[in-house]
Amino acid sequence: MRFWTPLLYSLLAASLFSAGCYFGFAQGALTFARTSEPPFSSRPDVDSLITGQPYEVKCASDFSQTGASPGYLNLPELEFDLPPFEQDYLLIVGCLQGDLQQNSFSLELQKQANNKPVRSMGTCHFIPLPAYRSTTVEPTEEARVIVEKEPSLTDPQSETGNFCFYETSDEKRRVFSLYVGNGLFGSEQAYEECETRLLSEGSHLRLWLDIKDELTTEKLSSTELKNQWKERATHLHSCFEKLVVSTLAPWLGEVNDLDGDGKFSIVLTSRLNQLSKGTEPLVGLTWSGDYRRDLPRPYGNRADVVYLNPTINDEELVTEVLVHEYVHALSFDLHLETMTSSQNARYEEDWLNEGLAHLVETELTGTRRNIEDRLQAFLSQPGNFPLVVSDYNRAGLWRSPGCRGATFSFLSWCKAQKRKRFIPQLFHSSSTGLQGVADATGDSFPNLFRGWSSAVALETTQITSLEPGEAYQWKQAATSCHFFRISQREGEQARVKLKNESESGIQLTLIPLSDPKAEEALISGN
């Protein structure tokens, strides 16, 4: 039992070039393709499978499947024989239903002394799956067309938009109520009054500076301090005009003017650091209570506003987070604009709310500072992070890097399948959660999950290898996937035995890999 090295990981992609199956580029995205239709294997212990072709492992059983739905199984135990040929396989164990983070499984690769057919409790067929593109982060066509019309943010000659900068603004002050995490959301003690002054004002945007931050700024001369805040204001107004006003709003929509002041507001406050968990600072925040018409202070401000942390000096990151937070603001506004009662409030589920914000930020900026580390956290341990989480805070997963990486990866993959107008259709769907995804893609979640997990196999760095006679036990999150490379040598036939100890809803996908001898030759350089 062992984990894949980077070299063996690279062989998975290489294997998909052989035996009539290849990876090709289609509109900038990797795609599965094959030269002929694979056979339906009604006898998996007899028929061979095509290298690189993903197969659904479909099992019939004498066990009842209470609560199961098409696309996954909740059998407590299943087993199947591999075809009797020298071959390596990638087995993907997808957990679609069960405990959010703790589902117990064990997998044993048994040596077979003969070719007796497998028992009826685990009779399995291998069903060839359709071709899917891999994940991609390229801008969609409609977003790219809009972005290309705009000058580069790094171009010093580009217009930043006209705005007024105020060195002091004693007459223009505003108090925002801000959640700082000192109690439950429903407790007044969990909120602070954040007194601000107007820092700058443009055609579409007002920047408000927390008085507390202005008073506690590092010791600088008045000129240095003025230049520091002016540079920050210039950057934010420029980004807002180019990315939000000129690009995002025509594509996805504009936030309503909730407070009637005619402009969107950004509050610069380091109080966001009080909400940080771990070592990573909180760069930005959009508070859903601000977009609720029925909430009194201090629970919301009834204002179109987001909050940014002025202690963050990474302009590329701040740019991405500005777009990210505006997407949240638009989502809250769209879902709550007709709601006058908390009883009828319809929020988008957290995993989609965050995933869409990350997807749009990368689409419009062309950079991935805000998501890259989170994506790598997910790819390093994909079985540990649930994809579908309706409420991150209640689940104890708020700002979980791996969960963010999972939803970004999934939505990027969905976009690669549908491409045109996937993001606007999902964003403006009349449904939320999984139904919204199904409406936007025209496909069921189990089908989407299976295709996505096959694509993740090409990117993850955690694949467990098993040979006949070995076994492995693990725990896995719901709506996550675990990957195994199982090996069968010449003259052997192996039986795969999976115990689903939690009786969770699972789906199995099998992908035959390249000839082991060819891999050995590749490793040795021959």
In the DSSP assignment, the letter for residue 241 is I
Q: What is the pLDDT of residue 41?
A: 35
- Interacting residues of 114 by C-beta distance below 8 A, sequence separation 6+: none
- As a whole number of angstroms, the distance between CA 166 and CA 383 comes to 51
Cross-strand bridge partners of residue 201: 164, 206
Cross-strand bridge partners of residue 103: 476
CB 360 within 8 A of CB 330: no
Residue 485 vs residues 225, 348, 376, 381, 464: alpha-carbon distances, Å = 58, 37, 21, 16, 6
Rg (CA), the chain: 26
Compute φ and ψ for 32, nearest 5 degrees. -75, 140
Q: How far is CA 71 from the centre of its chain?
A: 21
CB 132 within 8 A of CB 458: no
- As a whole number of angstroms, the distance between CA 454 and CA 431 comes to 27
Q: What is the pLDDT along the chain (526 residues), one digit of tens a residue?
A: 444 433 333 434 433 333 333 222 223 222 233 333 333 333 443 357 889 899 999 876 545 445 445 677 888 999 999 888 888 999 999 999 999 999 999 999 998 865 555 443 446 789 999 877 665 445 444 444 444 443 344 343 344 568 999 987 777 999 999 999 866 888 999 999 999 999 999 999 999 999 999 876 556 667 888 899 999 999 999 999 999 999 999 999 999 999 999 999 999 999 999 988 667 899 999 999 999 988 899 999 999 999 999 999 999 999 999 999 999 999 999 987 655 544 444 579 999 999 999 999 999 999 999 999 999 999 999 999 999 999 999 999 999 999 999 999 999 999 999 767 999 999 999 899 999 999 999 999 999 999 999 999 999 989 999 999 999 999 999 999 999 999 988 888 899 999 999 989 999 999 999 765 555 554 455 4
- As a whole number of angstroms, the distance between CA 226 and CA 487 comes to 66
HEC assignment per residue over 83-111:
CCCCEEEEEEEEEEECCCCCEEEEEEEEE
Coil, strand or helix: which one is 403?
helix
Nearest to 361 by CA among 395, 401, 398, 316: 316
Q: What is the pLDDT of residue 117?
A: 54
30-37: Cβ within 8 A, 24+ apart: 30/133, 30/134, 30/136, 30/458, 31/131, 31/132, 31/133, 31/134, 32/131, 32/132, 32/133, 32/454, 33/131, 34/131, 37/128
pTM: predicted TM-score of the whole model, two decimal places: 0.84
* E strands present in 407-479: 464-466, 471-476
Q: What is the pLDDT of residue 63?
A: 52
User: Helix, strand, coil % (nearest 5) of the chain?
Assistant: 35, 25, 45
- As a whole number of angstroms, the distance between CA 411 and CA 198 comes to 38
- As a whole number of angstroms, the distance between CA 506 and CA 476 comes to 11
Q: How far is CA 43 from the centre of its chain?
A: 38
Helix (H) or strand (E) holding 143: helix 141-148
Nearest to 518 by CA among 34, 126, 51: 51
Compute φ and ψ for 275, nearest 5 degrees. -95, -10
Q: Which two tokens mark 457?
A: 């196999």
Neighbouring CB atoms inside 10 A of 469's CB total 10
Q: Which two tokens mark 63?
A: 């066990």
- As a whole number of angstroms, the distance between CA 413 and CA 452 comes to 6
Q: What is the pLDDT of residue 345?
A: 47
For strand 264-268 and strand 480-488, is the pairing parallel, antiparallel, or unpaired? unpaired
Q: What is the largest CA-CA distance in the chain?
A: 88
- As a whole number of angstroms, the distance between CA 451 and CA 437 comes to 14
Q: What is the pLDDT of residue 524?
A: 53
CB 287 within 8 A of CB 163: no
